[in-house]
């Protein structure tokens, strides 16, 4: 089976400073990855590289078997990525944004499932209002919905729970579980919220100074937490504190 994401020998520098250093990992459809690390560890840079927004100095990224270097259009068609809030077009409505993204995926209209997700997240009352009038949480909901349109094989979410109220946050967690388990999507979530990892994720990668410090699948997570008698949150914090 083709992996949803392959990252091979990935390195990127800014000036003389290495930001990502020789990263290797692979994820299958149906996996949910928590990408964890302190500020400046390289999480956002890695997400931008996978989305094709930054070009690494070396290495290769395959999305559902398509190379970002050699098959950029095909690779991006297999990818959903959260638009940063400052890049959302203020002079469009939420519905118009969703229509544009749907068309970019070759769809004639917004998928019914996306409208159901909008209702579930509490976004529907705002869907026909101008984005410029949205609150932080409402902008976050729109960014999430844009990433999820048409359930692509790989979905990248950068701190998606930021700004969400508890009801919407719970709704999002349930939506992501469904996308992962029933629609076979691979979901990569960059997050500082260690408490949700054991609830939601089947895989965790911890970045530190641009290197992979931990790369544990679900079986390894269970093994490590059981042997140590600690939660995954406690294991990760302890590992980071020891460096």
> Rounded mean pLDDT of 89-98?
96
Note if the pTM is more than 0.85: yes
> Rounded mean pLDDT of 43-58?
92
Tokens of 108: 């004639």
CA distance 53 to 75: 12
Q: Are the CB atoms for 7 and 24 separated by under 8 Å?
A: yes
CATH code that applies to domain 1-78+154-159+191-243: 3.40.50.300
Give the H or E element holding residue 35.
Answer: strand 32-36
Q: Which residues on adjacent β-strands are paired with residue 190?
A: 35, 158
Residue 140 has pLDDT above 80, yes or no: yes
User: Per-residue pLDDT tens for 153-192?
Assistant: 999 999 999 989 999 999 999 999 999 987 789 999 998 8
What does pLDDT average to over the chain? Answer: 90
Residue 158: C-alpha distances to residues 32, 37, 42, 43 (Å): 13, 13, 12, 9
Domain ranges (residues) in the chain: 1-78+154-159+191-243
pLDDT of residue 121: 96
Mean pLDDT is highest, among 73-87, 120-134, 197-211, for 120-134
What's phi and psi for 148, nearest 5 deg?
-90, -10
Owner of token pair 């984005």: 131
């Amino acid at each position: 089976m083709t992996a949803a994401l392959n990252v091979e020998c990935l390195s990127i520098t800014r000036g003389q400073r290495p930001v990502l250093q020789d990263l290797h990992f692979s994820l299958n459809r149906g996996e949910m990855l928590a990408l964890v690390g302190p500020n400046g560890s390289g999480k956002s840079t890695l997400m931008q590289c996978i989305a094709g927004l930054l070009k690494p100095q070396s290495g290769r990224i395959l999305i559902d078997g398509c190379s970002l270097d050699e098959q950029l259009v095909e690779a991006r068609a297999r990818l959903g990525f959260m638009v940063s809030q400052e890049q959302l077009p203020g002079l469009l409505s939420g519905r118009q944004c969703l229509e544009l993204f749907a068309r970019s995926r070759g769809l004639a209209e917004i998928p019914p499932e996306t409208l159901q997700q909008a209702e579930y997240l509490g976004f529907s009352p705002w869907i026909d209002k101008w984005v410029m009038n949205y609150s932080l949480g409402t902008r976050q909901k729109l960014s999430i919905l844009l990433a999820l349109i048409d359930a692509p094989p790989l979905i990248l979410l950068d701190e998606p729970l930021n700004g969400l109220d508890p009801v919407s946050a719970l709704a999002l967690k349930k939506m992501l579980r469904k996308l992962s388990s029933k629609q076979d999507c691979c979901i990569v979530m960059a997050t500082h919220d260690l408490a949700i990892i054991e609830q939601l994720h089947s895989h965790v990668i911890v970045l530190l100074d641009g290197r992979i410090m931990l790369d544990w699948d679900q079986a390894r997570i269970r093994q490590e937490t059981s042997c140590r008698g600690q939660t995954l949150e406690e294991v990760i914090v302890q590992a980071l504190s020891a460096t």
